[in-house]
Amino acid sequence: MPDPQHPRSTVGRVYLVGAGPGDPGLLTLRGAECLARADLVLYDGLVNPLLLRHSHALAEQTCRVDGPAGRVLRQDEINRRLIEAARSGKTVVRLKGGDPFIFGRGSEEAAALSDAGIPFEVVPGITAATGAAVYTGISLTHRDHASAVAFVTGHEDPTKSTSLDYVALATFPGTLVFYMGLHRLGAIAQSLIGAGKPTSTPVCVVSRATTPRQRSVTGTLQDIASLATAAELHAPSLVIIGDCVRLREQARWFEDRPLFGQVIGIARPEEQADDTALRAVELGAQPLVLPTIEIAPPDNWEEVDAILSRLNEYDWIVFTSVNGVNGLLGRLLESGRDMRAIAKSRLAAIGPSTAAALRKYSLRADLVPTEFRAEALARELGPHVAGKNVLWARASRGRDVLPVELAAAGATLKQLVVYQNRDVDRLPASSLLPFERGEVNWIGLSSPSIARSLARLLTDDAKSWLGNKTKLASISPVTTAAAREAGLPIAAEAVEFTWEGLFQAMIISSGEKPEES
Ligand code: SAH
């Protein structure tokens, strides 16, 4: 999309955008707008890759250490990349963890752009301190406990000569938040005690704040270093020091979410996993997308196009998936027609997601069965279709319940393949690795074909965790049967046959209370 504020300039623009501390919901609206119009995104190691779904651009990670994510890019190289891309006319987003101007060298990048005459904009973000504090239930400026808050770098070694004045910090009338201080925690605590801060001052170390892997350890200046070591906390971590830490139990909420900290494999095609992944995050879980099948358009559109020109012949159109809705109605719009082409037809949707997909086209389903499965759809549709023409917008493969049952009910059924549903040959290594390491708690199976593909695609190492560390939840009895037949043990089954039902089954099986959606 061209940048509406700067149409047709030959030099592109750079947006330095704060990505927030980890939770993908903690991005500003402006940040999302910039991502949507970017041609290139350079993001740093603290950024949650889930944010990249706001962008269609080429995205590249910049790292401070060589590793699987990529090669180290030095700061001057990053600056040069930004300048070069902008000069070639690209709209560039430089996405940085937290707020770009808080301990993030964002101001140096801005200065380099300014020197090079590149237009830029800086979009603030939620910095780790406020994110970590709120997600652990701490008010950094609680009026009974702090009149001020200081963001302090823990990067400087307090035992050597340092620009930090520990006497001033020890007498500071408020909360101290140390960034980059985990590995110097002992020295920082001892320096503050040495400068007169009471040993009993409460401290909370929060690691991976605002993500499903958030962990927090609470202690005092005296014992926090050994507590943090014992808990084996990981970077990035933040240290919050002050009396406000005492009140955290009253305001804690995030770590109490029903699937907090659970890693959940979501076996869905890539392009459909977004909403489900976000719901998993909302429940406190870490989603891991497992694209076991891929969705593709039909090999050719001839048959679909022929039917589109005479849709008014159908009394009912039946949709059994979101893809079916998008396949048929997307093609209808592309062909230059609009929804008046189906004005005479009544519409049936198998469940709430399919009905919601219809609503995106301003259509209301006339029939959604009380139970979201083909048998129930056939049963409830049956009385309406005797002697009628029915069109089923379907996948290239699937169950044959509808044709049999609707024919028995006296309908003339036209089955129209509007999308293909194909098995992938292998799962990406990034999806498989956490399974092989036994880091995954749940996999949600949302159809029999997904269950069968998963049985084929999981490696023996990954399978060795099934049933103990990694549990499987099935969306319906039909899926359970297919999974068992393929040798997969099922630990929980959804009562309502939707992804929400799957999550609730996982929650109940983990011994938690189900939650209202
Ligand atoms: N610009 C960033 C900070 C960059 S410095 C911001 O505004 O948040 C990197 C330090 O930030 C880390 O060493 C750690 O102390 C802190 N940090 C960043 N993300 C964090 C997270 N999710 N949890 C805890 N600390 C975090």
Q: What is the pLDDT of residues 200-226, one digit of tens each?
A: 999 999 999 999 999 999 999 999 999
pLDDT of residue 371: 86
174 alpha carbon – ligand 1 mean position (Å): 20
- Our answer on whether the CB atom of 398 is closer than 6 Å to any ligand 1 atom is no
Asked if residues 58 and 95 have their Cβ atoms less than 8 Å apart, the reply is: no
Instruction: Select, from the ranges 5-19, 86-100, 395-409, 455-469, the one with the highest average predicted confidence (pLDDT).
Output: 86-100
User: Which residue, of 256, 283, 318, is where some domain finishes?
Assistant: 256
**Residue 2 counted as domain residue:** no
- Our answer on whether the CB atom of 128 is closer than 6 Å to any ligand 1 atom is yes
Atom of ligand 1 nearest to the CA of 101: 1
One domain, residues 87 and 169: no
pLDDT of residue 64: 59
Residue 399 has pLDDT above 90, yes or no: no
Average pLDDT (116-137) is 97
237 alpha carbon – ligand 1 mean position (Å): 7
Q: What residue ranges in 256-297 does DSSP mark as E strands?
A: 263-266, 286-289, 293-296
CATH number of the domain bearing residue 72: 3.40.1010.10
pLDDT of residue 512: 58
Average pLDDT (336-346) is 94
- Our answer on whether the CB atom of 180 is closer than 6 Å to any ligand 1 atom is yes
What is the side-by-side order of every strand in the sheet holding 471-474?
Answer: 286-289, 263-266, 442-445, 471-474, 492-493
Amino acid at 462: A
User: Which residue, of 422, 456, 486, is where some domain finishes?
Assistant: 422
Name the H helices within 361-488.
Answer: 374-381, 401-408, 429-436, 448-457, 460-463, 477-485
Residue 314 has pLDDT above 80, yes or no: yes
Atom of ligand 1 nearest to the CA of 126: 7
Q: What is the pLDDT of residues 479-496, one digit of tens each?
A: 999 999 999 999 999 999
One domain, residues 39 and 103: yes
Q: Supply the range of the domain harboring residue 388.
A: 297-422
Dump the DSSP string for 191-214. HHHHTT--TT-EEEEEESTTSTT-
22 alpha carbon – ligand 1 mean position (Å): 9
Distance (Å, whole) CA 53 – CA 514: 29
Asked if residues 158 and 188 have their Cβ atoms less than 8 Å apart, the reply is: yes
Average pLDDT (348-354) is 92
pLDDT confidence bin for 289, thresholds 50/70/90: confident
Mean pLDDT across the chain, nearest whole number? 91
180 alpha carbon – ligand 1 mean position (Å): 7
One domain, residues 77 and 165: no
User: Which residue, of 125, 148, 180, is where some domain finishes?
Assistant: 125
**Residue 280 counted as domain residue:** yes
Choosing from 95, 101, 179 the residue with most ligand 1 atoms within 8 A of its CB, the one to mutate for a pocket test is 179
- Our answer on whether the CB atom of 98 is closer than 6 Å to any ligand 1 atom is yes
CATH number of the domain bearing residue 332: 3.40.50.10090
What is the side-by-side order of every strand in the sheet holding 237-241?
Answer: 149-153, 175-179, 237-241, 202-207, 215-220
Please, is 309 exposed, middle or buried when counting C-beta atoms within 10 Å of its C-beta (0-12, 13-18, 19+)?
exposed
pLDDT of residue 421: 84
pLDDT confidence bin for 9, thresholds 50/70/90: low
One domain, residues 371 and 451: no
Residue 276 has pLDDT above 50, yes or no: yes
Choosing from 46, 75, 126 the residue with most ligand 1 atoms within 8 A of its CB, the one to mutate for a pocket test is 46
pLDDT confidence bin for 56, thresholds 50/70/90: confident
**Residue 387 counted as domain residue:** yes
Distance (Å, whole) CA 167 – CA 457: 60
One domain, residues 145 and 228: yes
pLDDT confidence bin for 516, thresholds 50/70/90: very low
One domain, residues 249 and 391: no
One domain, residues 337 and 382: yes
Asked if residues 293 and 453 have their Cβ atoms less than 8 Å apart, the reply is: yes
One domain, residues 96 and 155: no
**Residue 365 counted as domain residue:** yes
pLDDT confidence bin for 365, thresholds 50/70/90: very high
pLDDT of residue 271: 63
Which of residues 315 and 291 earns the better pLDDT score?
315
**Residue 1 counted as domain residue:** no
One domain, residues 228 and 135: yes
**Residue 4 counted as domain residue:** no
Residue 7 has pLDDT above 60, yes or no: no
SS3 18: strand
CATH number of the domain bearing residue 233: 3.30.950.10
The beta-carbon contacts of 422-427 under 8 Å, at least 24 apart in sequence, are 422/293, 422/294, 422/295, 422/296, 422/396, 423/292, 423/293, 423/449, 423/453, 423/456, 424/291, 424/292, 424/293, 424/294, 424/453, 424/457, 426/457, 427/290, 427/291, 427/292, 427/457, 427/458
- Our answer on whether the CB atom of 351 is closer than 6 Å to any ligand 1 atom is no
63 alpha carbon – ligand 1 mean position (Å): 15
One domain, residues 408 and 468: no
Q: What is the pLDDT of residues 236-273, one digit of tens each?
A: 999 999 999 999 888 889 999 999 999 999 987 766 67
- Per residue in 404-427, is it b (16+ CB within 10 Å) or e — as a string? ebbeebebebeebbbbbbbebeeb
Average pLDDT (503-514) is 83
Count of domains observed in the chain:
4
**Residue 5 counted as domain residue:** no
Which of residues 168 and 159 earns the better pLDDT score?
168
Average pLDDT (456-466) is 91
One domain, residues 414 and 453: no
Distance (Å, whole) CA 131 – CA 209: 7
Dump the DSSP string for 483-516. HHHTT----EE-SSSSHHHHHHHHHHHTTPPP--
Q: Could you tell me the two tokens for 208?
A: 């991976």
**pLDDT above 70 coverage of the chain, percent:** 94
Q: 322-331, 442-451, 508-517: which has the minimum mean pLDDT?
A: 508-517
Q: What residue ranges in 75-211 does DSSP mark as E strands?
A: 92-96, 120-123, 149-153, 175-179, 202-207
pLDDT of residue 5: 56
- Is the pTM higher than 0.95? no
Atom of ligand 1 nearest to the CA of 46: 19
Q: 70-84, 334-348, 468-482: which has the minimum mean pLDDT?
A: 70-84
pLDDT confidence bin for 517, thresholds 50/70/90: very low
Q: Which residues, 6+ apart, have CB-to-CB distance to 328 below 8 Å?
A: 304, 317, 319, 393, 416, 418
Distance (Å, whole) CA 46 – CA 28: 16
**Residue 516 counted as domain residue:** no
- Our answer on whether the CB atom of 104 is closer than 6 Å to any ligand 1 atom is yes
One domain, residues 288 and 435: yes
